[in-house]
Structure 1
């Protein structure tokens, strides 16, 4: 049976990456293959849902060599793995494994992959060298495709689908249900990288809450990065608030579906609000959030906006949920992506 080694930033406590892990596992269950997922600390996971799926410790060099030697394919498994803003070393890790695999006659591919920003010329050269060897290039958005084109990748070889975590949340949410929204409930996920201080962030949320005497739920999706900042924001709030740490995907969808407004300071918080059809505004600390906003039609504030101006803009406008047309389009990209991977594997195994 075909064996795929799947690379990702799995096992580090980030809701988004764990969601992507679940999503890729879910999509691969419909394909006749064995999948080995490269993770941090495999012991933290229960047995994979699919008996054909296993885990390997990314820090165990002996196990990694064995996994690479026995696989037929190596796949970038979603998320924004190739970028050099937070660290160039991360890109070098994934690109290095892919290049090593290609040199050992393994077939390599990307799956719902986000790319960029990539500012260093020498990393762009490696990106071109690696992606030129791929038998399937599937990216999550137009910006990732455009970056590959800038690197010199062949146009006809790039497929644009959607973020695999977003598509998974849409699938979990199912058909829209006319559930009542609490007019006085705001769900917010905040992130220090946006650039506002705890005082400024609290001022923004208080301005939103004061209009409707709202209850505020502060959701933390990446505790090691965001918990301290979120607590600092909570300490400065005048609006009554509750802290919710690392909810499960279905619980997060329930929170968003009952909210009158979701404030998303993380990409997959915005994804959950899209899937739950929640009125949504985002704090775009990263271009990927602006790209998602452009795709789905919600407002995304950029760093440099003052908290008061941003709050005034939200309060004076009607914030509609994402359209069903956008939701349906995301669902189709998931179906098409799985079909493309099946076709590639079947063609290569003839």
Structure 2
């Protein structure tokens, strides 16, 4: 069986690459994957799979015709908060696959926000027509209940992603704190300045070494580079695009401060204390599920001292997830694998 995998792949986003790596890890051995990617050559090199350009219409149609199954490969693909066009791209491909009678799987989805009636209607039709559906949060599950669509609910599959150690991490001083920020309209220059001052005060108080980890180089690296001079000699920018190594970084980290969803999931899965900076409902859902402290970006304290004191307190007295809870989330994440087995074999 050939399965066409569609997601936000080949765009240099660590979270979406981690979802792809996990999907490839979970696919039945009888399935040959073909990945729609923004950078097919890189995807092919990294994962050893066939890949084609995600926006080359003729190539995509040819790949659809030569495949037996179609998979939405994880994440917040079906939402219209950041783009009105994106959900039509993914929904259009799913609709064509279903029209062709292919097996279709909506895998590890985080649905929404859906603000427009047209995208909501189209999404409902897509999900109703799927052979198998799995979602990663209770809000998505509630929406599918409303639409009367059968589904399976399980934690984000990246909980179960295999990881590799990165040798260079042990050359940096311990204890280490990982910081992952991303570009966002609510992360204004004033807020970034306050965050930077808070990080400086936090580092001085805790004597920690700060790892600045851009999850998407094209948007996050500039922010890391803006912060680094204020943390001269006590910080390092680490740019890793291989998902298993990216997750492995957190083996050597005591605490993570993150805006990126998968930076927090990777950190929590490795027993790090986590502090969230939320720009999206999906972060808030994770915060609620794990009882993780944090702030919404648009409601950050104006006083850098308030931020640094909260981080110092969490570093000193906060608790990471217990080994039992980590095992629970990791084992439950494997339910997404069972959905693939059932739908594709």
Category of TM-score, reference length = shorter chain:
0.7 to 0.9
Task: Please state whether the residue corresponding to 2:264 is helix, strand or coil.
Answer: helix
Task: Give the alignment's TM-score, normalised by structure 2.
Answer: 0.88
Out of 52, 72, 76, the residue aligned to residue 76 of structure 1 is: 72
CA RMSD of aligned residues (A): 2.4
Contact 1:31-1:342 within 8 A present in 2 as well: no
Task: Please state whether the residue corresponding to 1:268 is helix, strand or coil.
Answer: helix
Contact 1:78-1:113 within 8 A present in 2 as well: yes
Task: Give the alignment's TM-score, normalised by structure 1.
Answer: 0.86
Out of 163, 180, 188, the residue aligned to residue 172 of structure 1 is: 163
Q: Indicate the residue corresponding to 1:277 in structure 2.
A: 271
Task: Please state whether the residue corresponding to 2:85 is helix, strand or coil.
Answer: helix
CA deviation vs aligned residue, 1:146-205 (integer Å, no higher than 9, x gap): 2334xx4215x021122222321xx4379xxxx9x9764221111232525331120221
Structure with a larger share of its residues in strand: 1
Q: Indicate the residue corresponding to 1:295 in structure 2.
A: 289
1:239 Cα offset (Å): 7.5
1:24 Cα offset (Å): 0.8
Task: Please state whether the residue corresponding to 1:10 is helix, strand or coil.
Answer: coil
CA deviation vs aligned residue, 1:65-112 (integer Å, no higher than 9, x gap): 111112222110112111112112111100011112222222322011
Please show how residues 1-350 of structure 1 align to structure 2 within 5 Å: 2-28=1-27, 30-47=28-45, 53-149=49-145, 152-154=146-148, 157-168=150-161, 171-172=162-163, 184-193=175-184, 195-196=187-188, 197-237=191-231, 240-246=234-240, 248-303=242-297, 304-306=299-301, 307-317=304-314, 318-346=317-345
CA deviation vs aligned residue, 1:96-155 (integer Å, no higher than 9, x gap): 111122222223220111211111121111111111111211111112222334xx4215
Contact 2:251-2:270 within 8 A present in 1 as well: yes
Contact 1:283-1:300 within 8 A present in 2 as well: yes
Please say which of residues 108-117 and 327-336 is displaced more in the overlay.
327-336
Contact 1:297-1:322 within 8 A present in 2 as well: no
Contact 1:216-1:239 within 8 A present in 2 as well: no
For structure 2, the 5+ residue unaligned runs are: none
Contact 2:195-2:307 within 8 A present in 1 as well: no
Structure possessing the higher relative contact order (Cα contacts under 8 Å, 6 or more residues apart): 2
Please say which of residues 6-15 and 192-201 is displaced more in the overlay.
192-201
Contact 1:3-1:35 within 8 A present in 2 as well: yes
Task: Please state whether the residue corresponding to 2:321 is helix, strand or coil.
Answer: coil
Q: How many pairs were matched up?
A: 332
CA distance in 1, matches of 2:207, 2:225: 21
CA distance in 1, matches of 2:36, 2:246: 26
Contact 1:182-1:260 within 8 A present in 2 as well: no
For structure 1, the 5+ residue unaligned runs are: none
